[in-house]
Amino acid sequence: MNLSEDYDRANAVTALDKIIHDRKNEQDISSRPDVQYFGNLNASQRNTGEYINLTDARQLDNTIIHEGARQNGGRRIWKIGAISSSGTVEHEMTFRIHGVLSKINLVPGEISHLNAHKAAALTQRIEIVGLGSAAFDDMIMNTKIVTDAFRRFLGSQYLPEWNIGEGYGDIRLNCSCLYLTKINGHTRDEVPFGPGVDPFGKFAKYKSQGYAHTSANIVRYFKRGMGNDKDVLYECFPANFRAGDIVEVQGNIIAFPTKDNAIKVVFQMNALTLEDASFSRAAELVKARKHAPPPAYLELKRKNWYEEDDEEMDIGRTRRKFKDLRLGDRAGPVEKEQE
């Protein structure tokens, strides 16, 4: 799904810049007391790490790259953590970035024909762009600083320089998260799917084939609204998002080895917030009006006489009726007597 030609890019960029400025010092979603969830979150489902806004690269100074818990059958994974005074990892770092949704794939499609291995490769995936926003471009450049840190730590021969993608002539960022994690035997980390993430239970059959939905696969979906005259976040379904929405993405920047012995860096999404849906709705409305059938009009038949002629015809018709009436007779015209 891509942005349509009816999308108001200029005003969307202005709104995006304002949102980036307003949210600059906002705290992590999972630690906000005003967030309205469908259900209570346990400790493993809450992000307890520090929060980095990618608008400020200086926040990366006190971070360290470390090897995290292995995922998907023992695959090595490297993450960014906050460094303590003793030089050890204190907690995980969560990054956030704002942008405009340009591509979106958050609801699983047809997977009945896939085996477990291929199904486990499916992800909740989005792509965001800035449409020329300078603030967005700055955040992307700070993301590149993170990848350069991975290159220095792991070796540039394994991790090539990050190739920034282009979307609609602008910088773009792909964010994703796997639905399933490969496990060895029983795991206590298995958690239920979030609201609307697997609405038809398509992934349930893979649980018995060595895969599970764990805390590492959780993506929380929110939309911003007003409650009691203040800003409130409500948990929502992934199906609520559309291309053209202005969103906030939270997640971890991680690195892992590929099959060809290279290193890949990705933005692993763990929360997506709908900030402004007005531009996507306006574009859909304009598109609907363009393709709507023309309104039907009642075609008036033209007469060969004027309205004054109608009155004269009615008077003549009435006189003919009264001509054959007898006085006192209410039955109507009288038939002529036979001679």
Question: Lowest-pLDDT range, 13-27, 127-141, 314-328?
Answer: 314-328
- For 195-222, b where at least 16 C-beta lie within 10 A, e where not — what string? bbbbeeebbeebeeebbbbbbbbbbbbb
Specify the pLDDT at position 42: 38
31 in a structural domain: yes
Residue 183 predicted with pLDDT over 70: yes
- Domain assignment present for residue 69? The answer is yes
Per-residue pLDDT at 313 exceeds 50:
yes
pLDDT of 52: 61
Give the residue with greater pLDDT, 326 vs 144. 144
What are 35-70's pLDDT values in tens digits? Answer: 454 444 333 444 444 556 666 666 666 677 777 766
Q: How confident is the model at residue 326 (pLDDT cuts 50, 70, 90)?
A: low
Mean pLDDT, residues 135-151: 83
Q: Indicate whether 79 pLDDT > 60.
A: yes
Higher pLDDT, 217 or 204: 217
Residue 48, pLDDT score: 42
More confident residue, 329 or 57: 57
Q: pLDDT (tens digit, 9 = 90+) per residue, 237-289?
A: 999 999 999 999 998 888 888 877 778 888 899 999 999 999 999 988 888 88
Mean pLDDT of 183-193: 76
Domain-embedded: residue 4: no
Residue 86 has pLDDT above 80, yes or no: no
Does residue 307 lie within any of the structural domains? no
> Which residue from 68, 72, 70 is spatially nearest to 81, judged by alpha carbons?
68
> How much is the pLDDT for 335?
52
Lowest mean pLDDT among 30-44, 91-105, 127-141, 301-315: 30-44
Q: Please report whether residue 339 resides in a domain.
A: no
- Domain of residue 146, residue span: 9-291
* pLDDT greater than 60 at residue 311: no
- What pLDDT was estimated at residue 321? 63
Number of domains in the chain: 1
Round the average pLDDT of the chain to a whole number and report it.
75
Instruction: Please give the pLDDT value at position 82.
Output: 74
Domain presence at residue 210: yes
Bridge partner residues of 172 (DSSP): 129, 165
Domain-embedded: residue 93 = yes
pLDDT band at 78 (very low <50, low <70, confident <90, very high): confident
Share of the chain above pLDDT 70, in %: 62
Report the percent of the chain where pLDDT is more than 90.
16
Burial 279-317 (b: 16+ CB within 10 A, else e): bbebbbeeeeeeeeeeeeeeeeeeeeeeeeeeeeeeeee
Pairing of strands 63-67, 78-83: antiparallel
Quote the pLDDT of residue 87.
67
What mean pLDDT do residues 286-298 have?
74
Q: Is the pLDDT of residue 230 over 50?
A: yes
Residue 150 lies in a domain: yes
Show the tokens assigned to 19.
């949102």
Strands of 84-217, DSSP E? 89-105, 123-129, 165-167, 170-178, 181-182, 211-212
